A and B are shown apart, each in its own frame.
Chain A
Amino acid sequence: MKSLMSTCFLFCVFWGVSQTSGGRITVTFENWTLKELASHIQETTDYHFFYVDQWLVQDTISGSFSNTPLENVLKEVLGNTDINYFLMDRYKVILTRGNTIYDTLPEGFFTSSKTDSAIAEIPEIPDALPIFNKNDVAPNREGEVPVKIGREKRDRSQQFATLEGFAVNAGTNEPISDLAVLVQRTGKGTTTNANGYYSIEIPLGSHTIEVSALGIQGRQQKIILYGNGRLNFELEESFQMLDEVVLQGNSDRNINQTIGGAVQIEMKEIKKIPLVLGERDIFKVATTLPGISSAGEGATGYNVRGGRTDQNLILLDHAVIYNPTHFFGLFSAINPFTSDNVEVFKGNIPAEFGGRLSSVFDIRTKTANDKKLSGEASIGPVTGNLALEIPIAKDKASLLVGGRTTYSKWILRSLKEEELRNNQVSFFDVVAKYNHKINQSNTLRLMGYYSDDAFNITRDSLYGYTNRAVSLEWAHKFNDKNTGELILANSGYDFDIEFDVNSVNDFKLAYSINETLLKLKMKYLHNDAHNIDYGISGKLYNVEPGSIDPLNSETVIESVFIPDERGIETAFFLSDDIAVNQKLSLNAGLRYSLFAALGESSQRIYENGSPRNENTLIETQIFDENEVIKTYGGLETRVSARYFVAPNTSLKLGYNSSFQYVHTLSNNTTVSPTDTWKLSDINIKPQRADQFALGLHKNINENAFELSLETYYKKFDNILDYKTGADLLLNETVETEVLQGKGKSYGIEFLAKKNNGKLNGWLGYTYSRSLIKFDGLLEEERINNGEFFPSNFDKPHDLSLVTNYKFSKRFSLSANFVYQTGRPVTYPVGNYVYEGQEYTFYTDRNKFRIPDYYRLDLSFNVEGNHKIKKFAHSFWNISIYNVLGRNNPYSVFFVTENGQIKAYKSSIFAIPIPTITYNFKF
C-alpha cells in the first residue's frame, strides 16, 4: 500500500522537477514562519502550495536565496523540520508532515501486477490499474481500512473517476462547508460548498483522502477507487476533543471574507457572558461588539453605527421579528437554546437583504439532530427554558422545539404590597423547526415562532404584545454549480391595550403589522473566481395602525379606526463575489428596490413648502383598494473589496446604500412599547443611508488573535423625528407631526479577540458620533436652529471587555466590563411660573449628557463531571450583574410636585444582581 503511494510520489517528483527548472526563487527572510514563506512564494511566483496551516507555524526560519530553484529552497528550509514536500502538476507544491519518503519499492511488489501495467497514453499519471489491495497491515483504526469505491471496469481507458460526497457535522448533522478535501500525494484537493458537498476527479487506485477544517476534527480515509463513487464524511467538532472553546468555525473568515463590518456571534460566546437574571441573550452579546449599542439596560432596540433602533432587520430564519424582546427590553425574545450562530451585518449588507438601513441580524434556528433525541434545559430565577431535538426519520427529518416561560406571576404574588400582588407579568416564547431532507438535492425547512407578553397591572387593564413568524424554505440543488432557495415567510407583530373598569371610559385598542415575504435566492458558482448570488423578493405589508373600541354600550369612547395601510416592496438583487487574484477579491452587489404604497387610502395633500396642518391642506385624494398611491425606489449599491496587504492581513473597503420604507412612530427618547410602525406614503418619504467603510483585519499567531480596525462614515436622509409633544398613537394626520431630516455618523471601531487558550475573550472599543439635523423651512420644523446635534444614542466612547478564564475543564470564570459615555439628554435650562405653577423649560435638544456608564459583571460556571456515559451534562452558572453596584443613570427627568420642580434620575439595576441558573443537556 505504502509502496504504491511512493510510486505515485516518485512520478510526481520527477515530473515536477523537470517542469519547474525554469522557476527560480529570490527571497530574503528573517524569522518567518513557513506559512509566511509559502504565502510569499505563492504570491510572487506561479507556485501553489497545499498544506494544513497548523503544520507551518510552529517555528520561524530565516534565510536568503537568490535565483535558486524552488526545490533547493525547500530542501534547505525544510531540512530541520518534519515537513516533507512534493512538487506536482508543474506548480503545485504539497507540504505534508511526518510522511516517510520511500525511495525503493518493496521486493516483489510488481510481480503480480506486471501483466497489466502502464498505460502509455497518459504518461504523467502513474498507472493505477489494476488495483491491488494489500490490506494486510492496517490496524483496524477508523480510516485505516480502505473503503472500496465504485465498480472496477474492464475498460482500462478510464483512468479517472469522480469522487463526491457530503460532509456533515456528526453532532448537529449540519453540512460542513469549506472543508478541505485533499487527496494525499496527488496534489488534488477541493473544498466543500455550503451544503457540505464536494466533488473531485482523481486517478483510480488507492488514495488517502484527508479532510480538515478548523473547528472540525480532521480525518484521513484510505480508499480504493474503482470508479465513480461516493464518500461521505461525518465529522466531529474538534473542540470536543481538544476541549477548547472555538469562537469561529472558520477562524480566518474575518480576514478572508470580502465584505466588511460583518460579525458572527457564536452561541458558545453567549455562554461566556455573565447573565442578567439568568437569561442568556444574543443581543446582549452583540452590544459588547464595537458599533452595536443600546440606549441602556432595559431599553428595547439596538443602535448600529449611529442608526435608529428601527433600522435593524432582525431575521429569524428569514422572517422579520419586529420586537425581539420581552418585558420592555429586559430580556431577549430569541431562545438561545434553539438558535444557531447569528450573523450581524453592520457594514456591508449583502444584496439579498434590504429594507432596513443600519444592520441585519441574521439569526438561524438550529437544525435538530436526526439521529437521537437530545435536549437542553435551564432553570433560572425568572424563566425556565427547554429545547428538544427530536429525530423523525434518521438522516432525513428532525424537529426542534423550544419554549421559554416566566414564572414571575409567582414572584409578584409573593410580594407583600397588595397593589403589586394583583399585577401579572407574564411572557413566553415558543419556536419549532422541522427539517426534512427529501433527497440529496432537496431540503425543506419549516420554522414557526410565537412570543407573547402580557401585563395585567390593575385588575382591569391589560397590555400585551405578540410576535409571530413562520417561514418555509425549500433548498434545491440543480447541479454542482447551481443551487437555489425558495423562501416564503410571514411575520406579524401586534399589541393590545384593554381598559375595563366598568365605566364609560372602557376601551380596547389594537395595533398590528403583518408582512409576507416571497423570495427566490439563487447561487451560481461559475468557477473559483465567480460566485454569483441573484434573486428576487417581494414583500407585502399590511398595517392595521389601530382601532379603539369602546367596551360598554354606553360610552364616551369614540370608536376610532385608522384605515389600514398596505404596501408592497419588491427587489431584484445580484451580487458576485469575485476572486480577482489571491490577494484581491471583490464583492459587487446591486439591489433594486421598489416600494408601492397601495390603497385603499385617503391621502392628504398639503401646500408645498409650508408646514403641514389643516390650513395648508389642499385636498384629500382617495385611492381604491390596491390602487398605487405612490412609488418610491432606487438602486442600492453594495460593493466591497478585500485585499491582502500581507499574509494574514487584509484591507477591506466598502460602500453600501439602502432604502427603508417602514418607520417607527415614537416620541420617546428610547423605544416604547406603544411604538407603531408606519409605511411610507405620499407625505412620508423613505429613509436612505449611505455608508463608506474601511477596515484593516489581521490575524496573528495562527488565528489565535484576531485584530480589526474599522472606520465608517454614514449619511442618512429623510430620517424621522417628531414635533415636541406630538401624539402619534392613533393619529390620522401623523404627517403633520413628522419631521424628516438628515443624519450623519462616523466612527472608528477596534476589536481584539483571543479565541482560545485558558484565557480568552475580546476587547472592543469604539469612538463614534451620531448626529442629526432637522432644518425645515419654518421655525416649528427646525430643531436646534437647524444645526447638527447629537442623536439620543450618540455615545462617543464605548469600551467592552469580555474575558473568560478556564481554571479547569469544570470551572471557569467570566467577567464583562462596559464603559460608555453617557447618552445625551435634553436638560432644562430654566424654570418659569405660569399661573402660579412652576414649570421647567427646555430649549436645545440633547445638549447635555447623563453621567458616564460603566458596569462590571462576573459569572462563574461549574460544569458537571465529564463522564461519558452520564445521562445528562449539566452546569451551574452563578452570575453577578453590576458587581460594582454602580448607579448608572438611565434617564433624568423633571417633575413638578406641588409647584416645585424635582429632578430625578432613574436607573434600572442600581445594585448588584446575583442570579443562579441550572442548565443541563442530554
Chain B
Amino acid sequence: MRLSPIQVLFRFFKAILMLAFLAGCVESFEPGTEVFEDALVIESTITDEMGRQEVVLSRAFRFEEFVPEPEQGAKVMVVDDSGNEFAFEETTAGRYTSNVDFAAEQGRSYQLLITTSSGDEYASEQVVAPERFPIGEISAGATEENGGGIDIFVDYEPSQAAKYFRYKYEETYKIIAPDWNSQMLAFEGPVLVLKARILDEKTCFNTNLSQNININNPRLTTSNSVPRFSVRFIQKDNYIISHRYSILVKQLVLTEASYNYFEQLQEANEGDDVFSPSQPGFFRGNVFSVNKPEENVLGFFHVASISSERLFFDYVDFYPEEALPPYVDKCFPFVPPLEPNEEEPSIGELMDANAIRYHSITATGKFAVVPRVCGDCTVLGSTEIPEFWEE
C-alpha cells in the first residue's frame, strides 16, 4: 500500500508551515561536487509497438557541468526468454537503435545486456512485458480550478484499476500570427518600399513533447468505477489553445517495478522540507554491473505496452464568448527611425536582424512595424500542416 497522495499533501502543508514561521530561512547555495562519482545512465523503454527500439546511454556529470557525456562505442543487446537476440547499433552518439524492428510480447521476459567500450559489462534483470490495456477515451473539459483552464482526461475501464500507467503526450497547436499582413517591407536600392509578401507566414503548427514524468495507479471507487485522470492541464490564458489544439496521449502500461522507479524519480524532484528531511540515498534501478557488483548504475530498463489516442478541440468549443488568450507578445506597433540614432536602431537595422514585420502606414506616411513574432508565426512553429491534422 502506498500513500503518495498523503505524503504529497503532508509535505505540502509542512512546507507552508515552514514558510509561515521561518520565511527567509531557506536559501539556495552553489554546491561544488566535492567527490564526484561516475556512473552509467541507462534510458530504455522497449514497447510492444513494432519498430526500432532504442537504448540511450550517458554518464553522470559534475555539478559544475551542464551536459551529460554520451556513452559511445558500447555493445548493446536485448535478449528474450526464448533466446532471441536483438542487436543494437549506435546511430548518434550514445543513442543505440535496434538493427531490426521488433516488439515486446506480452508475458515474455526481456533482458538488456551492455558492454561498454572500456569492457565493463552490465545486465538488467529479466523484465516481463506487462499485460496490454488499450488506452481509454480521451476527453477535454474546462475547469475553474487552478485559475481556470482545460484538463485532458483519460478514462478507464474498471478492469484497469490498480494497474500501473505512465503518460506521455505530443501536443500540436495552430498558431495564427495576429498582425500578419499580406504586404512586406523591402529595400529597392536605398528606398524602402512595400511589396507583396513572398512567404506565407500566417498559420503555423508547433508540437511539444511532454517533459514531466506522469504516472498513475488508478483505483476503483466504491461505486465500481475508476475516476478519469488528468494527463495534461492547460491554463486558460495559454496561447497554445487559442485556435485549434490537438493532443496525442500515449499510455504506457508499466510493470510495478518501473512504476516504483518513476515514483522515486518524482519524489527526488519534489524536494524536501525543513522539519523532516527524508533520508536521501542511492536508489537502484534494474541494471547491474556484471564485473563489479558494487558499482552504482543509474537508470532503468523498462518494458511497456503502449497505445495512444488523439483528440482535437478549439478554444471556442469551451469559451465561445470570450476573447482569445493573450498572444506571446503584446504586439504594439511602433515607428522606428529611418536613420540610425543613438537611442534606437533604425528600421533598416531591424530588418537586417529579421526582428520586425510590416504593420501599417501612419497618418504621417511613416511605416509602422510590429515585432516579428506578431506578423510571422514561424518564430513559434512551422507552416507545414501535420499529416494527422484535421480541421
B-binding residues in A (CB < 8 A): 298-299, 328-329, 412, 415, 419-420, 423, 425, 455, 457-458, 461, 463, 497, 499, 504-505, 507, 509, 548, 550, 553-558, 560, 667-674, 722, 724-725, 727, 729-732, 779-780, 783, 785, 792, 826-837, 839-843, 845, 847-848, 887, 890-896, 899, 901-910
Contact = CB atoms under 8 A, between A and B. Distances in A.
B178 to A, nearest CB: 28
- Max count, chain A CB within 10 A of own CB: residue among B26, B267, B280: B280
B299 interface: yes
B279 A668 contact: yes
B298 A841 contact: yes
Given A556-B219, A830-B62, A830-B63, A907 B13 contact: no
A213 B274 CA distance: 49
A906 B261 CA distance: 28
Interface stretch (B30-38, B97-105, B321-329, B379-387): B30-38
A529 to B, nearest CB: 51
Contacts of B30: 903
Interface string B155-176: 0000000000000000000000
B274 A903 contact: no
Given A457-B17, A831-B60, A669 B219 contact: no
B2 interface: yes
Contacts of A425: 17, 20
Interface in B293-317: 293-294, 296, 298-299
B282 interface: yes
A842 B281 contact: yes
A829 B24 contact: no
A225 to B, nearest CB: 66
Interface of B: 1-3, 5-7, 9-10, 12-14, 16-20, 22, 24-31, 33-39, 41, 43, 58-63, 65, 68, 211-213, 218-223, 226-227, 264-265, 267-272, 274-284, 293-294, 296, 298-299
A910 B29 contact: no
A894 B60 contact: no
Given A672-B275, A896-B269, A834 B298 contact: yes
Given A674-B10, A725-B267, A907-B25, A831 B61 contact: yes
Contacts of B265: 834, 837, 839
Given A724-B282, A893-B271, A419 B276 contact: no
Nearest to A891: B277
A730 to B, nearest CB: 6
Given A505-B5, A672-B276, A905 B29 contact: yes
A839 B268 contact: yes
A834 B43 contact: yes
B302 to A, nearest CB: 10
A908 B39 CA distance: 35
A827 B277 CA distance: 13
A830 B34 CA distance: 9
A895 B271 contact: yes
Contacts of B280: 724, 826, 828, 842, 893
A555 B276 contact: no
A832 B68 CA distance: 7
B80 to A, nearest CB: 21
B94 to A, nearest CB: 11
Contact of A461 (B3, B9, B36): B9
A906 B14 CA distance: 14
B271 A827 contact: no
A904 B3 contact: no
Contacts of A557: 219
Nearest to B24: A910
- Residue of A504, A833, A894, A895 with most partner-chain B CB within 10 A: A833
A903 B29 contact: yes
Given A834-B41, A895-B271, A827 B3 contact: no
B13 A725 contact: no
Contacts of A499: 6, 9
Contacts of A896: 268-269, 271
Contact of B296 (A725, A729, A843, A892): A843
Given A463-B10, A497-B10, A779-B293, A837 B211 contact: yes
A423 B282 contact: no
Contact of B264 (A298, A725, A828, A894): A725
A291 to B, nearest CB: 24
Contact of A906 (B26, B58, B270): B26
A832 B41 contact: yes
Nearest to A463: B13
A541 B26 CA distance: 40
Nearest to A507: B6
Contacts of A899: 211
Contacts of A550: 222
29 contacts: A415-B20, A509-B6, A550-B222, A555-B222, A558-B219, A669-B277, A725-B264, A727-B3, A727-B7, A785-B294, A826-B279, A828-B33, A828-B63, A829-B36, A830-B37, A830-B38, A830-B62, A830-B63, A832-B41, A832-B68, A833-B58, A834-B41, A834-B265, A845-B281, A887-B27, A896-B269, A902-B28, A906-B26, A910-B25
Given A832-B41, A832-B299, A893-B272, 10 more contacts: A499-B9, A505-B5, A558-B1, A558-B219, A725-B264, A725-B281, A779-B284, A826-B280, A839-B268, A843-B37
B373 to A, nearest CB: 22
Given A509-B6, A843-B282, A827 B31 contact: yes
B13 A905 contact: no
Contacts of A725: 264, 267, 281, 283
Contacts of B219: 556-558
Contacts of B282: 724, 841-843
B1 A560 contact: yes
B279 A724 contact: yes
Nearest 8 interchain pairs by C-beta: A672-B276, A724-B281, A895-B271, A457-B13, A829-B37, A668-B276, A893-B272, A556-B219
A908 B43 CA distance: 39
A446 B306 CA distance: 67
A909 B12 CA distance: 21
A756 B61 CA distance: 60
Nearest to B285: A834
A423 B212 CA distance: 31
A826 B34 CA distance: 12
Given A550-B222, A554-B221, A829 B276 contact: no
A902 B269 CA distance: 10
A509 B36 CA distance: 42
Contacts of A792: 279
Contacts of B22: 906, 908-909
Contacts of A299: 275
Nearest to A499: B9
A732 B28 contact: no
Contacts of A841: 37, 39, 60, 282, 296, 298
B299 A731 contact: no
A298 B222 contact: no
Given A420-B16, A785-B294, A843-B296, A835 B213 contact: yes
Contacts of B275: 298-299, 328-329, 670, 672-673
